[in-house]
Amino acid sequence: MAGRRPASAYTARRTSGTSGCIWRHGTDVQIPLFSGVVPGILYTPIRWPDFILIMAPGSNGGMGPGIDAADRGLPLTKRTSRAARNSIYARLGASFANSLDLSFDGDVVAQGPQLPVCAGLQISWRHCVGGTAWPKRKLKHLSSLRIAAEDIVAAVSFMRERYGDMPVILVGFSFGGPAVWAAAQRCEVHGMIALASSARGGERFEHAGLDTEAGIRAAVHRNLPVLWLHGLADRNVDPAVTAHFSSLAEKHQETAATSSKLTVCMIRACGHMFDSSRILAYQVLRAWLLSVFGGPAEWPLGLGGLGLAKAKAKAEPKPCLRLLLGSQSRAEPLDLPEVNREKLRKKHLKGYSE
C-alpha cells in the first residue's frame, strides 16, 4: 500500500480550493513516451493522498463522460470552456484532490478533513491530441488497444514517480474500458471502474494478453473491487456487454473463492455519454470510491441500504451487487439477462469485437 515518499514528490499546496470554475483545480501535464506524449490534467492533492485515481476517456479522447453528446471528444486544451465543466472526470478529480464535494461549477457542496484525498490524473490519448478522434477504422485493431494500454501504464508510472506506492484506481470510459483492463495486467492496481465499457476478446487479443476477460479474471483473483456503470439507453455500447462481463467476473469469483467487491449499476434512460444523468453518475462513482477508501457518505437513492456502504471485510466470496438506478426513484435490485458470447458477436450488438 502506501510507501515512502519519493524525494521529488509532493509539496503542500493551497488549502482553499473552494469556489469558482472547476478547471481552476487542474494543471496541464504531458507524459513523455518514446513516440509522442500522453496529455493529461493533474489534480494535485491538498495533502498527502490516500490513493491515486487515473481516468481514461473513450476513443474520441478529451474530457470524457458527462459532457454534452454534441461536445464529445472535447480536447483537454478546452478544459476552461463552459462545455468542459460538465466533465464527470474533472469533478471527481477536483473534489477528491481537495477533500471536498464540488459541484460541476466548482462550488463546494460538502467538505471535511475526514474525507479521503486522491491525486487525480485525467488523460487523453497520444493519438487524440488537440481533439483528433481515434480513426474508427483502426479502433478495433489490436495495435490500437495496445497503444491505449501503454498510455495508461505510462500514466500510472507518472503518478507513482510523484506519490510513491499509493493504491491506484483505474477508470475507463467506452474504449477506455478495455484499455484499463489491458493495462491492469501490466501494472499493479487496486481497483477498477468500467463506465459504459466496450470489450475485446477472441484469439487475437487473448494471444496478446489484451482481452477483457483476462483482465477481469486477474482482478478477481487479486480481490480487487470493481464497479461497472452503464446507461440502459446506450446506443454506442450495448448494456449487454456489461451484463456479460460482470457475470463472467462473478463466475470467476465463485471458482476462485475470492472476495472481490463486485458492483453493477445500470441507469434508466441514460445514454452513452451520461450527459442526461451526469449528477447521478458522479454520485455513484463518488459513493463507490468512498466505500473503498473510507469516509462518511450520504448515499444517493438509498445505495447505502442496499449494500454499497463500506462493510467489514469477510473471507468468503461476496455476491455481485446489481442495482437499477433512476434520477427520481430509489435504487432497486437489478436482474441482468443472461448474455453469452454468441450474442455479443452479432452485428447489431455494438461494443464487443474480436
The C-alpha cell that represents 109 in the structure block: 457542496
Residues 67-111 have pLDDT tens digits of: 999 999 999 999 989 889 899 999 999 999 998 888 888 888 877
Residue 16 has a CB neighbour count (10 Å cut-off) of: 9
The C-alpha cell that represents 120 in the structure block: 487525480
The single-letter DSSP state of residue 161 is: H
Low-confidence ranges of the chain (pLDDT < 50): 1-5, 7-19, 311-313
What does pTM read for this prediction? Answer: 0.90
Closest by CA position to 2, among listed 49, 42, 54: 49
Superfamily of domain 22-309+316-353: Alpha/Beta hydrolase fold, catalytic domain (3.40.50.1820)
* % of residues, the chain, pLDDT over 90: 62
* In the chain, domain spans: 22-309+316-353
Residues 41-64 have pLDDT tens digits of: 999 999 999 999 999 999 999 999
